[in-house]
Amino acid sequence: MGRITVHPDCRDFVSTVENLLKRRQQQMEITPYRLPLWQKDDWGPRSWTRTELEDMVYSSFKRMRQGHITRPPRRQTVMEIADYLNCTLEERNRLLMAAHISPVAPYFTGERLVELLQEVTAVAQQLVIPALIINRDWHIHYLNDQALRLQNVSTAQLASIPPEHFNLLRLMFDPQLPLYPNLIQNHTSWVRMARQTLYGFKMANLLCQFEPWYQTLVDDLMGLPDFADHWHTIDVDLPFSADFSVQNLPSSVTVETTFIDSHQKPRQIWLRPLVISAGYFQFDFPQIVAFLPADQNSYGAFSEIGLQGLGQPLRLEPKG
């Protein structure tokens, strides 16, 4: 009886899967398998064996190893195998390419990210409305003068923020940072914006949950007031319109904030976030988040402190 061999078209895929299984087993020998408490685990405890892989996610793997299957699985199955293996984006792409499937576009780092940030900053500097630039990890790389003026944040206050804390999620949840007191005045509005921002972060990074930067960032944020409660109760399997925070608020996304008017008195205004992609379909991040006045009163407040609102605001109608 001849020796059974894997079909040539499946050889790379089988080898990649088995290498990843072996890597997970070796990691488990060093550190027992345990996800962070904040991380949802649909698979439960795993031993990372061939048999377990075949039972839980890809029953045809045994037949593929025996040479009875002549082509790798389709994209959806490969992505499910990657989920089972807790793959980083680099590992996920190795699986996809071994299956002769186009990889997930990688996010930018290093020199290429620096180049893109320069391009996006040049766009943001031309805006006449408050704006900031965030990357995939929600780190803030740029705040324009209009944003500082609107939030009454001085350059000295900005400089006092540790670089590792200059993150949009932290600014929304950390009482020690200067934007939080302005946003929390209307708690209902803050909850809606905080939850939608978390929802956006989770959706943008569905394939990055096992990246070291993702794990480190969320671990760090878990110590902030209210962060864990909101993180655990946001369901990305549902549209955000189903979230409890949307009830009894206008369907359009707005946030109330406090600013200091020309008479040095606090004043409430409503802002409408606007996401601007400077890459024109070439890249998602970095991206610009700008803010428009959401009603007539807020439009007037913009003018009062020397900001422009890009035309008349839309009228917001309460949900009936």
> Quick one: pLDDT at residue 238?
92
Answer yes or no: are the C-beta atoms of 73 and 99 closer than 8 Å. yes
Give the pLDDT of residue 314. 46
User: Is the CB of residue 258 less than 8 Å from the CB of residue 179?
Assistant: no
Q: What is the mean pLDDT of the chain?
A: 88
- In tens, the pLDDT along 153-208 reads 888 888 899 999 999 999 999 999 988 888 888 888 899 999 999 999 999 999 99
Residue 319 pLDDT:
46
pLDDT confidence bin for 98, thresholds 50/70/90: very high
More confident residue, 4 or 112: 112
User: pLDDT per residue over 271-311, tens digit each?
Assistant: 899 999 887 777 789 999 999 988 888 888 788 777 765 55
* Of 195, 228, 307, residue with least CA distance to 260: 307
With contact defined as beta carbons under 8 Å apart, do 181 and 268 qualify? Answer: no
Query: Would you state the structure tokens that stand for residue 157, as one six-digit string?
Result: 């206050």
CB-CB contact of 142 with 121 (8 Å): yes
Q: What is d(CA 279, CA 19) in angstroms, rounded to the nearest whole number? A: 36
Structure tokens at 193: 């914006």
| DSSP string computed for 80-117 | HHHHHTT--HHHHHHHHHHTT-PPPPPPP-HHHHHHHH
Give all strands (DSSP E) within the chain, no chain letters.
Answer: 131-134, 140-143, 255-260, 266-276, 287-293
Model confidence at 317: pLDDT above 60: no
What would the pLDDT profile of 65-75 be if each residue is shown by its tens digit?
999 999 999 99
- On the question of a cis peptide bond just before residue 130, with omega within 30 degrees of 0, the verdict is no
